[in-house]
Structure 1
Amino acid sequence: MDISTIIGLILGLLSLLGGFMLEGGDMGALMIYTAAIIVFGGTFGAVIVSFPLSKLKQIPSALRMAFIEQKHNPQQAIDEIVEMATIARREGVLALEQRAQDNPNPFLKEGLMMVVDGTDPELTRQILELEMDALEHEHEGYAKIFESAGGYAPTMGIIGTVLGLIHVLGNLEDPNSLGPKIAVAFAATLYGVASANVIYLPIANKIKIRSSELMNERELMLEGILALQAGENPQLIKKKLSSFLHVKNKAAQEESVVADVQES
Protein backbone atom coordinates (compact mmCIF):
# COMPACT_ATOMS: atom_id res chain seq x y z
CA MET A 1 0.00 0.00 0.00
CA ASP A 2 1.06 3.56 -0.68
CA ILE A 3 1.18 5.02 2.81
CA SER A 4 1.17 8.62 1.56
CA THR A 5 -2.19 8.15 -0.16
CA ILE A 6 -3.73 6.58 2.93
CA ILE A 7 -2.29 9.21 5.28
CA GLY A 8 -3.40 12.02 2.99
CA LEU A 9 -6.99 10.82 2.82
CA ILE A 10 -7.20 10.21 6.57
CA LEU A 11 -5.58 13.55 7.39
CA GLY A 12 -7.83 15.44 5.01
CA LEU A 13 -11.03 13.91 6.37
CA LEU A 14 -9.95 14.18 10.00
CA SER A 15 -9.00 17.82 9.53
CA LEU A 16 -12.45 18.65 8.18
CA LEU A 17 -14.27 16.74 10.88
CA GLY A 18 -11.89 17.80 13.65
CA GLY A 19 -12.20 21.47 12.78
CA PHE A 20 -15.97 21.16 12.77
CA MET A 21 -15.96 19.45 16.15
CA LEU A 22 -13.60 22.03 17.65
CA GLU A 23 -16.06 24.73 16.70
CA GLY A 24 -18.65 22.95 18.81
CA GLY A 25 -20.33 21.12 15.97
CA ASP A 26 -22.28 17.92 16.42
CA MET A 27 -21.02 14.98 14.37
CA GLY A 28 -24.57 13.76 13.99
CA ALA A 29 -25.43 16.96 12.12
CA LEU A 30 -23.14 15.86 9.28
CA MET A 31 -24.58 12.37 8.94
CA ILE A 32 -27.38 13.17 6.51
CA TYR A 33 -28.10 10.06 4.49
CA THR A 34 -30.42 11.82 2.04
CA ALA A 35 -27.68 14.29 1.12
CA ALA A 36 -25.22 11.42 0.73
CA ILE A 37 -27.60 9.60 -1.60
CA ILE A 38 -28.05 12.68 -3.78
CA VAL A 39 -24.37 13.60 -3.97
CA PHE A 40 -22.66 10.21 -4.23
CA GLY A 41 -25.44 8.54 -6.18
CA GLY A 42 -25.68 11.47 -8.57
CA THR A 43 -21.90 11.63 -9.00
CA PHE A 44 -21.55 7.93 -9.70
CA GLY A 45 -24.49 8.07 -12.08
CA ALA A 46 -22.97 10.96 -14.03
CA VAL A 47 -19.64 9.14 -14.26
CA ILE A 48 -21.37 6.00 -15.54
CA VAL A 49 -23.13 8.05 -18.22
CA SER A 50 -19.86 9.78 -19.19
CA PHE A 51 -17.75 6.68 -19.80
CA PRO A 52 -18.32 3.43 -21.70
CA LEU A 53 -18.41 0.18 -19.76
CA SER A 54 -14.95 -0.78 -21.01
CA LYS A 55 -13.51 2.30 -19.26
CA LEU A 56 -15.53 1.81 -16.08
CA LYS A 57 -14.11 -1.70 -15.76
CA GLN A 58 -10.69 -0.07 -15.37
CA ILE A 59 -11.64 1.63 -12.09
CA PRO A 60 -10.17 -1.20 -9.95
CA SER A 61 -6.89 -0.91 -11.89
CA ALA A 62 -6.94 2.86 -11.39
CA LEU A 63 -7.46 2.46 -7.65
CA ARG A 64 -4.63 -0.06 -7.42
CA MET A 65 -2.39 2.42 -9.21
CA ALA A 66 -3.28 5.15 -6.71
CA PHE A 67 -3.19 3.08 -3.51
CA ILE A 68 -0.49 0.49 -4.20
CA GLU A 69 3.04 1.80 -4.37
CA GLN A 70 4.86 0.75 -7.50
CA LYS A 71 8.55 0.08 -7.14
CA HIS A 72 10.69 2.11 -9.53
CA ASN A 73 14.45 1.81 -9.38
CA PRO A 74 15.97 3.73 -12.31
CA GLN A 75 19.46 3.33 -10.85
CA GLN A 76 19.09 -0.44 -10.98
CA ALA A 77 17.87 -0.22 -14.58
CA ILE A 78 20.91 1.87 -15.50
CA ASP A 79 23.27 -0.60 -13.86
CA GLU A 80 21.64 -3.53 -15.69
CA ILE A 81 21.82 -1.80 -19.07
CA VAL A 82 25.44 -0.76 -18.57
CA GLU A 83 26.38 -4.29 -17.53
CA MET A 84 24.69 -5.75 -20.59
CA ALA A 85 26.28 -3.12 -22.84
CA THR A 86 29.67 -4.22 -21.50
CA ILE A 87 28.89 -7.86 -22.26
CA ALA A 88 27.60 -6.96 -25.75
CA ARG A 89 30.83 -5.09 -26.61
CA ARG A 90 32.97 -8.00 -25.49
CA GLU A 91 30.94 -10.98 -26.67
CA GLY A 92 28.32 -9.60 -29.05
CA VAL A 93 24.59 -8.99 -28.58
CA LEU A 94 23.76 -12.69 -28.92
CA ALA A 95 25.40 -13.21 -25.53
CA LEU A 96 22.51 -11.23 -24.00
CA GLU A 97 19.77 -13.62 -25.09
CA GLN A 98 19.49 -15.58 -21.86
CA ARG A 99 19.78 -12.46 -19.69
CA ALA A 100 17.08 -10.79 -21.76
CA GLN A 101 14.72 -13.74 -21.43
CA ASP A 102 15.22 -13.85 -17.66
CA ASN A 103 14.73 -10.10 -17.13
CA PRO A 104 11.69 -9.51 -14.86
CA ASN A 105 10.79 -6.16 -16.46
CA PRO A 106 8.58 -6.91 -19.51
CA PHE A 107 9.41 -3.63 -21.27
CA LEU A 108 13.17 -4.04 -20.91
CA LYS A 109 12.89 -7.72 -21.78
CA GLU A 110 11.04 -6.99 -25.01
CA GLY A 111 13.49 -4.30 -26.04
CA LEU A 112 16.51 -6.47 -25.35
CA MET A 113 15.01 -9.38 -27.28
CA MET A 114 14.54 -7.12 -30.30
CA VAL A 115 18.20 -6.14 -30.04
CA VAL A 116 19.24 -9.79 -29.84
CA ASP A 117 17.03 -10.62 -32.84
CA GLY A 118 18.72 -7.91 -34.89
CA THR A 119 15.66 -5.69 -35.30
CA ASP A 120 16.29 -2.41 -37.08
CA PRO A 121 17.02 0.33 -34.47
CA GLU A 122 14.39 2.68 -35.88
CA LEU A 123 11.77 -0.07 -35.82
CA THR A 124 12.79 -0.92 -32.25
CA ARG A 125 12.25 2.70 -31.22
CA GLN A 126 8.89 2.89 -33.00
CA ILE A 127 7.54 -0.30 -31.40
CA LEU A 128 8.62 0.62 -27.88
CA GLU A 129 7.39 4.22 -28.20
CA LEU A 130 4.00 2.97 -29.42
CA GLU A 131 3.76 0.74 -26.36
CA MET A 132 4.66 3.66 -24.10
CA ASP A 133 2.08 5.91 -25.77
CA ALA A 134 -0.60 3.25 -25.39
CA LEU A 135 0.15 2.79 -21.69
CA GLU A 136 0.26 6.54 -21.07
CA HIS A 137 -3.09 6.93 -22.82
CA GLU A 138 -4.53 4.19 -20.63
CA HIS A 139 -3.32 5.97 -17.50
CA GLU A 140 -4.82 9.24 -18.73
CA GLY A 141 -8.13 7.40 -18.96
CA TYR A 142 -7.76 6.29 -15.34
CA ALA A 143 -7.23 9.88 -14.20
CA LYS A 144 -10.08 11.28 -16.29
CA ILE A 145 -12.60 9.07 -14.50
CA PHE A 146 -11.72 10.58 -11.13
CA GLU A 147 -11.34 14.06 -12.57
CA SER A 148 -14.88 13.76 -13.91
CA ALA A 149 -16.13 12.63 -10.51
CA GLY A 150 -14.34 15.62 -8.98
CA GLY A 151 -16.13 17.91 -11.39
CA TYR A 152 -19.58 16.41 -10.92
CA ALA A 153 -19.53 16.08 -7.12
CA PRO A 154 -19.68 19.83 -6.24
CA THR A 155 -22.48 20.32 -8.76
CA MET A 156 -24.41 17.43 -7.26
CA GLY A 157 -23.86 19.03 -3.87
CA ILE A 158 -25.40 22.28 -5.08
CA ILE A 159 -28.31 20.35 -6.57
CA GLY A 160 -28.82 18.58 -3.25
CA THR A 161 -28.78 21.92 -1.41
CA VAL A 162 -31.30 23.42 -3.82
CA LEU A 163 -33.59 20.43 -3.39
CA GLY A 164 -33.27 20.78 0.39
CA LEU A 165 -34.10 24.50 0.25
CA ILE A 166 -37.11 23.81 -1.95
CA HIS A 167 -38.34 21.42 0.72
CA VAL A 168 -37.65 23.96 3.48
CA LEU A 169 -39.33 26.86 1.70
CA GLY A 170 -42.33 24.69 0.92
CA ASN A 171 -42.93 24.11 4.63
CA LEU A 172 -42.80 27.47 6.41
CA GLU A 173 -45.46 26.73 9.01
CA ASP A 174 -42.84 26.29 11.76
CA PRO A 175 -40.28 29.15 11.61
CA ASN A 176 -38.31 27.67 14.51
CA SER A 177 -37.37 24.64 12.42
CA LEU A 178 -36.02 26.65 9.48
CA GLY A 179 -32.46 26.89 10.85
CA PRO A 180 -31.89 23.14 11.33
CA LYS A 181 -33.54 22.33 8.01
CA ILE A 182 -31.40 24.81 6.12
CA ALA A 183 -28.28 23.39 7.80
CA VAL A 184 -29.31 19.92 6.64
CA ALA A 185 -29.77 21.24 3.11
CA PHE A 186 -26.24 22.63 3.02
CA ALA A 187 -24.78 19.28 4.07
CA ALA A 188 -25.10 18.22 0.43
CA THR A 189 -22.81 21.04 -0.68
CA LEU A 190 -20.31 19.97 1.97
CA TYR A 191 -20.39 16.37 0.75
CA GLY A 192 -19.89 17.40 -2.85
CA VAL A 193 -17.05 19.88 -2.36
CA ALA A 194 -15.26 17.78 0.26
CA SER A 195 -15.39 14.53 -1.71
CA ALA A 196 -14.15 16.27 -4.85
CA ASN A 197 -11.19 18.00 -3.21
CA VAL A 198 -10.19 15.37 -0.66
CA ILE A 199 -10.88 12.15 -2.58
CA TYR A 200 -11.53 12.31 -6.33
CA LEU A 201 -9.14 15.02 -7.56
CA PRO A 202 -6.21 13.95 -5.33
CA ILE A 203 -6.57 10.37 -6.57
CA ALA A 204 -6.52 11.63 -10.17
CA ASN A 205 -3.35 13.60 -9.46
CA LYS A 206 -1.70 10.60 -7.80
CA ILE A 207 -2.44 8.49 -10.89
CA LYS A 208 -0.86 11.15 -13.12
CA ILE A 209 2.26 11.26 -10.97
CA ARG A 210 2.53 7.48 -10.95
CA SER A 211 2.19 7.44 -14.74
CA SER A 212 4.84 10.13 -15.13
CA GLU A 213 7.29 8.14 -12.99
CA LEU A 214 6.68 4.99 -15.02
CA MET A 215 7.03 6.81 -18.35
CA ASN A 216 10.28 8.39 -17.22
CA GLU A 217 11.66 4.99 -16.27
CA ARG A 218 10.62 3.49 -19.59
CA GLU A 219 12.11 6.41 -21.52
CA LEU A 220 15.35 5.71 -19.68
CA MET A 221 15.16 2.04 -20.67
CA LEU A 222 14.36 2.92 -24.28
CA GLU A 223 17.39 5.19 -24.63
CA GLY A 224 19.55 2.56 -22.93
CA ILE A 225 18.35 -0.19 -25.26
CA LEU A 226 19.02 1.93 -28.35
CA ALA A 227 22.45 2.96 -27.07
CA LEU A 228 23.29 -0.68 -26.36
CA GLN A 229 22.11 -1.64 -29.83
CA ALA A 230 24.31 1.08 -31.35
CA GLY A 231 27.34 -0.33 -29.54
CA GLU A 232 28.06 2.83 -27.55
CA ASN A 233 30.64 2.91 -24.80
CA PRO A 234 29.07 1.53 -21.58
CA GLN A 235 30.32 4.42 -19.48
CA LEU A 236 28.94 6.95 -21.95
CA ILE A 237 25.64 5.10 -21.80
CA LYS A 238 25.74 5.39 -18.03
CA LYS A 239 26.38 9.12 -18.27
CA LYS A 240 23.58 9.59 -20.78
CA LEU A 241 21.05 7.68 -18.72
CA SER A 242 21.99 9.53 -15.55
CA SER A 243 20.17 12.56 -16.98
CA PHE A 244 16.90 10.77 -16.21
CA LEU A 245 17.67 10.65 -12.51
CA HIS A 246 16.57 13.23 -9.99
CA VAL A 247 18.81 16.28 -9.81
CA LYS A 248 20.02 15.48 -6.30
CA ASN A 249 21.04 11.98 -7.40
CA LYS A 250 22.63 13.10 -10.64
CA ALA A 251 25.74 14.59 -9.05
CA ALA A 252 26.55 11.36 -7.24
CA GLN A 253 25.94 9.40 -10.43
CA GLU A 254 28.32 11.61 -12.45
CA GLU A 255 31.05 11.21 -9.82
CA SER A 256 30.67 7.45 -10.16
CA VAL A 257 30.98 7.72 -13.93
CA VAL A 258 34.19 9.77 -13.69
CA ALA A 259 35.68 7.25 -11.29
CA ASP A 260 34.80 4.36 -13.61
CA VAL A 261 36.30 6.11 -16.62
CA GLN A 262 39.50 6.84 -14.74
CA GLU A 263 39.78 3.23 -13.62
CA SER A 264 39.29 2.00 -17.16
Structure 2
Amino acid sequence: MDWASVIGLALALAGLFVGHAIDGGKFASLVQPAAFAIVVIGTAGAVLLQSEVPTFMRGMRMLRWVFQPPPNQRQKLARDIVNWSQTARRDGLLALEPAMTRATDKFVQKGLRLMIDGIQPDKLRSLLETEINAYEFSQRQGARIWESAAGYSPTIGIIGAVLGLIHVMENLSDPARLGAGIAVAFVSTVYGVGLANLFFYPVGNKLKAIVAEKVVQYEILLEVFFDLASGDHSRVIDERVASLLSRD
Protein backbone atom coordinates (compact mmCIF):
# COMPACT_ATOMS: atom_id res chain seq x y z
CA MET A 1 0.00 0.00 0.00
CA ASP A 2 1.29 3.44 -0.97
CA TRP A 3 0.40 5.40 2.15
CA ALA A 4 1.53 8.68 0.59
CA SER A 5 -1.33 8.39 -1.91
CA VAL A 6 -3.84 7.44 0.77
CA ILE A 7 -2.79 10.28 3.08
CA GLY A 8 -2.60 12.77 0.22
CA LEU A 9 -6.14 11.99 -0.93
CA ALA A 10 -7.41 12.13 2.66
CA LEU A 11 -5.76 15.52 3.23
CA ALA A 12 -7.17 16.90 -0.01
CA LEU A 13 -10.71 15.87 0.91
CA ALA A 14 -10.27 17.01 4.52
CA GLY A 15 -9.13 20.45 3.37
CA LEU A 16 -12.20 20.75 1.15
CA PHE A 17 -14.74 19.63 3.73
CA VAL A 18 -13.15 21.36 6.72
CA GLY A 19 -12.92 24.66 4.85
CA HIS A 20 -16.54 24.29 3.82
CA ALA A 21 -17.58 23.60 7.42
CA ILE A 22 -15.61 26.56 8.82
CA ASP A 23 -17.68 28.92 6.70
CA GLY A 24 -20.83 27.36 8.11
CA GLY A 25 -21.52 25.07 5.20
CA LYS A 26 -23.16 21.70 5.61
CA PHE A 27 -21.79 18.44 4.27
CA ALA A 28 -25.19 17.57 2.83
CA SER A 29 -25.06 20.62 0.57
CA LEU A 30 -22.09 19.10 -1.27
CA VAL A 31 -23.81 15.76 -1.81
CA GLN A 32 -25.73 16.14 -5.05
CA PRO A 33 -26.16 12.85 -6.99
CA ALA A 34 -27.39 14.62 -10.11
CA ALA A 35 -24.34 16.90 -10.28
CA PHE A 36 -22.03 13.95 -9.59
CA ALA A 37 -23.64 11.92 -12.39
CA ILE A 38 -23.30 14.78 -14.87
CA VAL A 39 -19.61 15.33 -14.13
CA VAL A 40 -18.42 11.74 -13.69
CA ILE A 41 -20.47 10.10 -16.44
CA GLY A 42 -19.95 13.03 -18.80
CA THR A 43 -16.19 13.01 -18.22
CA ALA A 44 -15.99 9.24 -18.68
CA GLY A 45 -17.91 9.54 -21.94
CA ALA A 46 -15.66 12.30 -23.25
CA VAL A 47 -12.50 10.36 -22.41
CA LEU A 48 -13.88 7.19 -23.98
CA LEU A 49 -14.83 9.14 -27.10
CA GLN A 50 -11.22 10.24 -27.62
CA SER A 51 -9.67 6.88 -26.70
CA GLU A 52 -9.73 3.33 -27.97
CA VAL A 53 -11.46 0.87 -25.67
CA PRO A 54 -8.25 -1.13 -24.88
CA THR A 55 -6.46 2.11 -23.97
CA PHE A 56 -9.34 3.24 -21.76
CA MET A 57 -9.48 -0.12 -19.98
CA ARG A 58 -5.69 -0.15 -19.55
CA GLY A 59 -5.87 3.26 -17.90
CA MET A 60 -8.62 2.09 -15.57
CA ARG A 61 -6.61 -1.00 -14.57
CA MET A 62 -3.57 1.18 -13.92
CA LEU A 63 -5.51 3.15 -11.31
CA ARG A 64 -4.69 0.51 -8.69
CA TRP A 65 -0.99 1.39 -9.06
CA VAL A 66 -1.66 4.71 -7.36
CA PHE A 67 -2.49 2.94 -4.10
CA GLN A 68 -0.76 -0.41 -4.71
CA PRO A 69 2.19 0.33 -6.99
CA PRO A 70 4.07 -2.51 -8.70
CA PRO A 71 6.60 -4.09 -6.30
CA ASN A 72 10.10 -2.67 -6.34
CA GLN A 73 12.13 -5.12 -8.45
CA ARG A 74 15.47 -3.28 -8.44
CA GLN A 75 17.16 -5.47 -5.81
CA LYS A 76 15.95 -8.66 -7.49
CA LEU A 77 17.03 -7.45 -10.92
CA ALA A 78 20.46 -6.53 -9.55
CA ARG A 79 20.90 -10.06 -8.15
CA ASP A 80 19.66 -11.58 -11.42
CA ILE A 81 22.09 -9.49 -13.47
CA VAL A 82 25.02 -10.63 -11.33
CA ASN A 83 23.92 -14.26 -11.71
CA TRP A 84 23.53 -13.89 -15.47
CA SER A 85 26.97 -12.35 -15.75
CA GLN A 86 28.62 -15.10 -13.72
CA THR A 87 26.79 -17.86 -15.57
CA ALA A 88 27.55 -16.43 -19.01
CA ARG A 89 31.23 -15.93 -18.16
CA ARG A 90 31.58 -19.43 -16.72
CA ASP A 91 29.35 -21.55 -18.98
CA GLY A 92 28.44 -19.38 -21.97
CA LEU A 93 25.23 -17.68 -23.03
CA LEU A 94 23.41 -20.96 -23.70
CA ALA A 95 23.54 -21.67 -19.96
CA LEU A 96 21.10 -18.77 -19.41
CA GLU A 97 18.17 -20.80 -20.74
CA PRO A 98 16.96 -21.87 -17.24
CA ALA A 99 16.97 -18.19 -16.21
CA MET A 100 14.86 -17.35 -19.27
CA THR A 101 12.38 -20.08 -18.33
CA ARG A 102 12.08 -18.79 -14.76
CA ALA A 103 11.67 -15.13 -15.75
CA THR A 104 8.17 -13.70 -15.37
CA ASP A 105 8.81 -10.34 -17.04
CA LYS A 106 8.26 -10.50 -20.80
CA PHE A 107 11.04 -8.01 -21.49
CA VAL A 108 13.55 -10.06 -19.49
CA GLN A 109 12.41 -13.22 -21.26
CA LYS A 110 12.88 -11.59 -24.66
CA GLY A 111 16.31 -10.19 -23.82
CA LEU A 112 17.60 -13.53 -22.56
CA ARG A 113 16.09 -15.38 -25.52
CA LEU A 114 17.75 -13.04 -28.01
CA MET A 115 21.13 -13.60 -26.33
CA ILE A 116 20.68 -17.36 -26.22
CA ASP A 117 19.68 -17.38 -29.89
CA GLY A 118 22.96 -15.67 -30.73
CA ILE A 119 21.49 -12.44 -32.11
CA GLN A 120 24.19 -9.88 -32.91
CA PRO A 121 24.56 -7.25 -30.17
CA ASP A 122 23.60 -4.30 -32.39
CA LYS A 123 20.50 -6.11 -33.64
CA LEU A 124 19.65 -7.13 -30.09
CA ARG A 125 19.84 -3.50 -28.98
CA SER A 126 17.59 -2.40 -31.84
CA LEU A 127 14.96 -5.05 -31.09
CA LEU A 128 14.89 -4.28 -27.38
CA GLU A 129 14.73 -0.53 -27.99
CA THR A 130 11.64 -1.15 -30.12
CA GLU A 131 10.18 -3.25 -27.30
CA ILE A 132 10.80 -0.47 -24.77
CA ASN A 133 9.29 2.19 -27.03
CA ALA A 134 6.16 0.08 -27.58
CA TYR A 135 5.80 -0.54 -23.83
CA GLU A 136 6.30 3.12 -22.95
CA PHE A 137 3.82 4.29 -25.59
CA SER A 138 1.05 1.91 -24.53
CA GLN A 139 1.50 2.60 -20.81
CA ARG A 140 1.67 6.37 -21.25
CA GLN A 141 -1.48 6.28 -23.34
CA GLY A 142 -3.21 4.51 -20.47
CA ALA A 143 -1.96 7.08 -17.95
CA ARG A 144 -2.96 9.92 -20.25
CA ILE A 145 -6.68 9.16 -19.96
CA TRP A 146 -6.52 10.56 -16.42
CA GLU A 147 -4.94 13.78 -17.69
CA SER A 148 -7.68 13.97 -20.31
CA ALA A 149 -10.31 13.50 -17.60
CA ALA A 150 -8.73 16.39 -15.68
CA GLY A 151 -9.08 18.57 -18.76
CA TYR A 152 -12.71 17.71 -19.45
CA SER A 153 -14.22 17.56 -15.96
CA PRO A 154 -14.09 21.32 -15.12
CA THR A 155 -15.87 22.21 -18.36
CA ILE A 156 -18.46 19.50 -17.84
CA GLY A 157 -18.90 20.83 -14.31
CA ILE A 158 -19.74 24.23 -15.80
CA ILE A 159 -22.24 22.56 -18.13
CA GLY A 160 -23.81 20.93 -15.07
CA ALA A 161 -24.01 24.31 -13.36
CA VAL A 162 -25.74 25.84 -16.39
CA LEU A 163 -28.22 22.98 -16.47
CA GLY A 164 -28.90 23.58 -12.79
CA LEU A 165 -29.46 27.27 -13.37
CA ILE A 166 -31.93 26.44 -16.11
CA HIS A 167 -33.96 24.55 -13.54
CA VAL A 168 -33.66 27.52 -11.18
CA MET A 169 -35.03 29.84 -13.85
CA GLU A 170 -37.98 27.53 -14.25
CA ASN A 171 -38.82 28.11 -10.58
CA LEU A 172 -38.59 31.90 -10.48
CA SER A 173 -42.16 32.03 -9.32
CA ASP A 174 -41.10 30.34 -6.07
CA PRO A 175 -38.43 32.59 -4.43
CA ALA A 176 -38.00 30.19 -1.53
CA ARG A 177 -36.43 27.62 -3.85
CA LEU A 178 -34.03 29.95 -5.64
CA GLY A 179 -31.18 29.97 -3.10
CA ALA A 180 -31.07 26.23 -2.71
CA GLY A 181 -31.40 25.73 -6.44
CA ILE A 182 -28.44 28.01 -7.20
CA ALA A 183 -26.33 26.23 -4.57
CA VAL A 184 -27.11 22.88 -6.16
CA ALA A 185 -26.21 24.22 -9.59
CA PHE A 186 -22.75 25.34 -8.51
CA VAL A 187 -21.95 22.04 -6.83
CA SER A 188 -21.37 20.71 -10.34
CA THR A 189 -18.53 23.19 -10.75
CA VAL A 190 -17.07 22.10 -7.42
CA TYR A 191 -17.18 18.47 -8.55
CA GLY A 192 -15.61 19.24 -11.91
CA VAL A 193 -12.77 21.41 -10.65
CA GLY A 194 -12.27 19.36 -7.49
CA LEU A 195 -12.01 16.02 -9.27
CA ALA A 196 -9.65 17.49 -11.86
CA ASN A 197 -7.18 18.98 -9.38
CA LEU A 198 -7.54 16.69 -6.37
CA PHE A 199 -7.75 13.35 -8.18
CA PHE A 200 -7.46 13.17 -11.97
CA TYR A 201 -4.28 15.25 -12.42
CA PRO A 202 -2.44 13.68 -9.43
CA VAL A 203 -3.39 10.18 -10.59
CA GLY A 204 -2.16 10.86 -14.12
CA ASN A 205 1.15 12.31 -12.92
CA LYS A 206 1.78 9.46 -10.51
CA LEU A 207 1.09 6.84 -13.16
CA LYS A 208 3.49 8.58 -15.56
CA ALA A 209 6.18 8.52 -12.86
CA ILE A 210 5.65 4.79 -12.30
CA VAL A 211 5.88 4.12 -16.04
CA ALA A 212 9.03 6.26 -16.32
CA GLU A 213 10.69 4.29 -13.51
CA LYS A 214 9.90 1.00 -15.26
CA VAL A 215 11.25 2.32 -18.55
CA VAL A 216 14.54 3.32 -16.84
CA GLN A 217 14.87 -0.22 -15.48
CA TYR A 218 14.28 -1.66 -18.94
CA GLU A 219 16.86 0.70 -20.44
CA ILE A 220 19.45 -0.48 -17.92
CA LEU A 221 18.53 -4.09 -18.68
CA LEU A 222 18.92 -3.38 -22.38
CA GLU A 223 22.49 -2.24 -21.80
CA VAL A 224 23.13 -5.31 -19.65
CA PHE A 225 21.91 -7.64 -22.39
CA PHE A 226 24.03 -5.76 -24.92
CA ASP A 227 27.11 -6.04 -22.69
CA LEU A 228 26.58 -9.75 -22.11
CA ALA A 229 26.02 -10.41 -25.81
CA SER A 230 29.17 -8.42 -26.60
CA GLY A 231 31.23 -10.35 -24.02
CA ASP A 232 32.15 -7.21 -22.07
CA HIS A 233 34.15 -7.41 -18.85
CA SER A 234 32.21 -8.14 -15.68
CA ARG A 235 33.26 -4.73 -14.34
CA VAL A 236 30.97 -3.12 -16.94
CA ILE A 237 28.10 -5.26 -15.67
CA ASP A 238 28.90 -4.21 -12.10
CA GLU A 239 28.55 -0.57 -13.13
CA ARG A 240 25.13 -1.32 -14.62
CA VAL A 241 24.09 -2.92 -11.34
CA ALA A 242 25.34 0.12 -9.43
CA SER A 243 23.27 2.39 -11.69
CA LEU A 244 20.20 0.28 -11.03
CA LEU A 245 20.64 0.27 -7.25
CA SER A 246 21.45 3.98 -7.10
CA ARG A 247 17.79 4.69 -7.81
CA ASP A 248 16.67 3.26 -4.45
TM normalised by structure 1 equals 0.84
Partner of 2:76: 76
- Superimposed CA distance per residue, residues 227-264 of structure 1 (whole angstroms, 9 cap, x where no aligned partner): 111112212321244234446x6xxxxxxxxxxxxxxx
Partner of 1:226: 226
- 1:54-133 to structure 2, matched below 5 A, reads 54-133=54-133
1:196 aligns with 2:196: yes
Distance change in 2, residues 1:145/1:218 (3 Å): same
Q: 1:131 Cα deviation (Å)?
A: 1.4
Partner of 2:47: 47
1:159 aligns with 2:153: no
Q: 1:209 Cα deviation (Å)?
A: 0.9
Which AA in structure 2 matches 1:160? Answer: G
Q: Distance in 2 between matches of 1:73 and 1:49?
A: 36
Q: Distance in 2 between matches of 1:76 and 1:190?
A: 45
For structure 1, which segment, 203-212 or 234-243, has the greater mean C-alpha deviation from structure 2 after superposition? 234-243
3-state secondary structure, aligned to 2:63: helix
Q: Distance in 2 between matches of 1:174 and 1:103?
A: 70
Q: Distance in 1 between matches of 2:32 and 2:177?
A: 16
Q: Distance in 1 between matches of 2:184 and 2:144?
A: 31
> 8 Å contact 1:111–1:128 — kept in the other structure?
yes
> 8 Å contact 2:65–2:207 — kept in the other structure?
yes
Which AA in structure 1 matches 2:82? Answer: V
Two-structure CA RMSD over aligned residues (Å) = 2.1
Q: 1:210 Cα deviation (Å)?
A: 0.9
User: Runs of at least 4 residues of structure 1 off by over 6 A?
Assistant: none
Q: Distance in 1 between matches of 2:131 and 2:140?
A: 14
Q: 1:86 Cα deviation (Å)?
A: 2.5
3-state secondary structure, aligned to 1:69: coil
For structure 1, which segment, 160-169 or 116-125, has the greater mean C-alpha deviation from structure 2 after superposition? 160-169
- Superimposed CA distance per residue, residues 170-189 of structure 1 (whole angstroms, 9 cap, x where no aligned partner): 43334454333222211110
Which AA in structure 1 matches 2:120? Answer: D
Q: Distance in 2 between matches of 1:76 and 1:54?
A: 31
TM normalised by structure 2 equals 0.89
3-state secondary structure, aligned to 1:58: helix
Q: Distance in 2 between matches of 1:84 and 1:51?
A: 41
- Superimposed CA distance per residue, residues 201-247 of structure 1 (whole angstroms, 9 cap, x where no aligned partner): 11111210110111111111111111111112212321244234446
Q: Distance in 1 between matches of 2:2 and 2:12?
A: 16
For structure 1, which segment, 123-132 or 73-82, has the greater mean C-alpha deviation from structure 2 after superposition? 73-82
- Superimposed CA distance per residue, residues 28-77 of structure 1 (whole angstroms, 9 cap, x where no aligned partner): 11112221222122212212222233333324422233333211232432
- Superimposed CA distance per residue, residues 61-115 of structure 1 (whole angstroms, 9 cap, x where no aligned partner): 2223333321123243233213321232233222222233223333223212221
Q: Distance in 2 between matches of 1:156 and 1:145?
A: 16
3-state secondary structure, aligned to 2:28: helix
Q: Distance in 2 between matches of 1:144 and 1:98?
A: 38
Partner of 2:217: 217
Distance change in 2, residues 1:127/1:42 (3 Å): same
Which AA in structure 1 matches 2:100? Answer: A
Q: Distance in 1 between matches of 2:114 and 2:209?
A: 29
Q: Distance in 2 between matches of 1:183 and 1:33?
A: 14
Q: 1:26 Cα deviation (Å)?
A: 0.7
**Percent of pairs with identical residues:** 39
Distance change in 2, residues 1:227/1:185 (3 Å): same
Partner of 2:149: 149
Q: Distance in 1 between matches of 2:146 and 2:10?
A: 18
